[in-house]
Structure 1
Amino acid sequence: MEYVILDAQVGDLSGVLDPTRYLDHLPSMSGDLPPGARAFATDPDHYDFRSRRCVKDLRLQAVRGAGGEEMEIEFQHNCWKHDQDLLIRYAGVSCFIIDSADEDREADLGTVILDEILPHRDGCSHEIACWDGTLTLVSRDLQAIWTETICSSDA
């Protein structure tokens, strides 16, 4: 990640997630993002850890269309925090990399820590850090769709 810090030090506490530098740079670079990426990145709930639409703690559920120009990544809610799942559709994918901490687990990267969307000459880059690895995509644009779900504790 270029701006989001996944292991910040705050006083005596280490391992703190800190998107502050990214959020400080976002207003100056958001105009260079494609419309869908800009809407998702600048959503006030995106980096608000108390928000139900914060990406932190979502679980990577599925990656569809890997290797193609159109891809989807599905994230499952965490019942204690979210009441919606997240589907991200990528159009014009020119790069897709899975960097797994454990090669045996392949695309099972676990829970999302944070993400970062940056302008790119091909549209935008989207890096998604999870506890067990990282997904990185470059695409012409993306569309984030939150969909209602029912937690098993609600049923």
Structure 2
Amino acid sequence: MKFVKAEWDDEMRGFDLDPSSYLAELPKMRDALPTGAWAHASDAEHYRMRSSRCVKDLELAEISVPTDKRGIGVIDFAANQWKHESGLRIRYSGVSHFSIDYDQSIDWMRADTVLLDEILPREGGCLHEIALTDASITVHCRDFEAVWGGTE
């Protein structure tokens, strides 16, 4: 990710997470981000770590990759039982790139959970990168819609 910090810290024996650089840059991206991407990125609760609408700690539940030229993809995240009231569904449109890169270095967790994400403008849409505890997801798309409770 370009601005969001989400990396393992050996000394701390945990993840060092800091979205502050991204949040400082985000207002400059208002006119460049598609409507749905902007709505998700600028949600006041998105990066408030203790909020039930913060993406941190959501559990990766299911991925539906685009299989035709419509480029529709969906990622479902389940609620963390100690933090979230509901899960989150992200429905991408116009997907031109979708990748998952696995690190496989943390073997003591049952599920991959979200550390943080970053949404940046790109020609024809946006780039959404999601850092997970043991992987990262990268999506290039025209736009997306993020709906809390959309997985129930």
TM over 0.5: yes
% identical equivalent positions:
45
Deviation string 1:24-43 (CA, Å, 9 cap, x unpaired) is 00000122000000000000
| 2:112 is the alignment partner of 1:134 | no
Deviation at 1:111, TM superposition (A): 0.5
Distance 1:91 1:32 in 2: 17
The corresponding residue for 2:5 is 5
Q: How many residues align?
A: 145
In structure 1, stretches of 5+ residues that fail to align are 103-107, 151-155
- Contact 1:55–1:112 (CA under 8 A) maintained in structure 2: yes
Report the residue type matching 2:80 in the other structure.
N
Alignment match of 1:75 (pick from 59, 74, 77): 77
Structure 1 pair 149–96 and aligned structure 2 pair: CA distance change class (3 A): closer
Distance 1:2 1:149 in 2: 29
- Contact 2:55–2:116 (CA under 8 A) maintained in structure 1: yes
Report the residue type matching 1:140 in the other structure.
R
- Contact 1:75–1:87 (CA under 8 A) maintained in structure 2: yes
Distance 1:58 1:15 in 2: 15
Greater percentage in helix:
1
SS in 2 for 1:32: coil
Distance 2:129 2:2 in 1: 10
- Contact 2:89–2:147 (CA under 8 A) maintained in structure 1: yes
Deviation string 1:78-120 (CA, Å, 9 cap, x unpaired) is 0100011100000000010110113xxxxx9701100000001
The corresponding residue for 2:37 is 37
Report the residue type matching 1:58 in the other structure.
L
The corresponding residue for 1:62 is 62
Report the residue type matching 1:71 in the other structure.
G
Structure 1 pair 35–138 and aligned structure 2 pair: CA distance change class (3 A): same
TM-score by length of 1: 0.85
Deviation string 1:41-63 (CA, Å, 9 cap, x unpaired) is 00000000011000000000000
Provide the alpha-carbon RMSD of the alignment: 2.6
Structure 1 pair 84–94 and aligned structure 2 pair: CA distance change class (3 A): same
The corresponding residue for 1:117 is 119
In structure 2, stretches of 5+ residues that fail to align are 105-109
Structure 1 residue runs of 4 or more that deviate by more than 6 Å after TM superposition: none
| 2:12 is the alignment partner of 1:21 | no
TM-score by length of 2: 0.86
Deviation at 1:67, TM superposition (A): 4.5
